Amino acid sequence: MPAPDLVTAELTLTGRITTASNATFLGSIGDAAVVYKPIRGEKPLWDFPDGNLAHREVAAYLVSEALGWSIVPRTWLREGPFGDGMVQLWQETDPEQDAVDLMPADEVPETGWKHVLDGQDEEGRIVALVHEDTAALRRMAVLDVIANNADRKGDHVLEMADGHRYGVDHGLTFHSDHKLRTVLWGWVGEKLSGEELDGVGRVSEGLKGELGRNLAELLTAEEISSLAARCAALRAVGRFPGPRGEMPAVPWPLF
Ligand SMILES: Nc1ncnc2c1ncn2[C@@H]1O[C@H](COP(=O)(O)OP(=O)(O)OP(=O)(O)O)[C@@H](O)[C@H]1O
Ligand SMILES: [Mg+2]
């Protein structure tokens, strides 16, 4: 649980992210800079009819905590100037780093990068969608598989100066139908490391106890059993899954 002052101290709005499709505000609680997304500002979505995005974002934070890798910045529910919503600690990113990028297909380095797909730019040149091959980003891909994230765009990866990677915008997660849409496809078929499997094991275990009880406040029972099934399947197969199903495997736009 967040420290009590983050729940009760006044949340002051300082700005608004105007590119966002839902109402997304910047604010502060004392010294802490936060993102605030009021439930009232959510646009209804035909493909996510149950619950609300704010609850899914908090659920993603709880699962990230159970994994133990601090992928999702601290996220909680509280009241703000536009009513109940989700609040998340703001993270100052390093503008010099790009974990997910577009580059000419013939310039993708041999090592350090994973090549996801090729497209054509306006001039007909072949452009590659790539992402870094780092442990931090792999862990985010593991979170996305078990959370069934339908919206892992390039801009939902935050590059921290020390190499840490935070993931944000987890409103489209935990559906009981397969909906994995991500730009992080670089490890398809690769074996999960022992550490990665241990993290998934912690989620499986947690679902039988406190994590399960906390998620019951946020997700439907069907969504929670689907989460448990995805964890079990990933541990049994032990490898990063590939795209499947009818829906596009990457979100649009990619960033
Ligand atoms: N906790 C955070 N710390 C730093 N930057 C953040 C944080 N949360 C979001 N951002 C930045 O703000 C952008 C918009 O936030 P987010 O994607 O969560 O909002 P949204 O309302 O879902 O927007 P959209 O519909 O455009 O995806 C993100 O792409 C990211 O660059
Ligand atoms: Mg977004």
Per-residue pLDDT reduced to its tens digit, 38-73: 999 999 899 888 889 999 999 999 999 999 999 999
Tell me how far the alpha carbon of residue 168 lies from the centroid of ligand 1, in angstroms: 6
Is the pLDDT confidence value at 20 over 90? no
Q: Where are the alpha helices (DSSP H) in the chain?
A: 4-8, 53-67, 135-147, 194-207, 210-215, 221-237
Which amino acid does the sequence have at 13?
L
Which amino acid does the sequence have at 252?
W
Give the up-direction half-sphere exposure of residue 129: CA atoms within 13 A in the CB hemisphere: 18
Tokens representing residue 209 in the block = 């106890």
Residue 130: helix, strand or coil by DSSP?
strand
Q: How confident is the model at residue 126 (pLDDT cuts 50, 70, 90)?
A: very high
Bridge partners of residue 182, in order along the sequence: 152
**Closest atom of ligand 1 relative to the 24 alpha carbon:** 21
Q: What is the pTM (predicted TM-score) of this model?
A: 0.96
Q: How confident is the model at residue 114 (pLDDT cuts 50, 70, 90)?
A: very high
Nearest alpha carbon to residue 1 among 46, 65, 45: 65
Q: Which residues line ligand 1 at a C-beta cut-off of 6 Å?
A: 17, 19-22, 24, 35, 73, 88, 90-91, 155-156, 158, 168-169
Nearest CA to ligand 1 atom 24: 20
Is the pLDDT confidence value at 1 over 80? no
The continuous run of DSSP H or E covering 26 comes out as: strand 25-29
**For residue 99, what are the contacts with CB-CB under 8 A and spacing of at least 6?**
131, 132, 134, 137, 154, 157, 159, 165
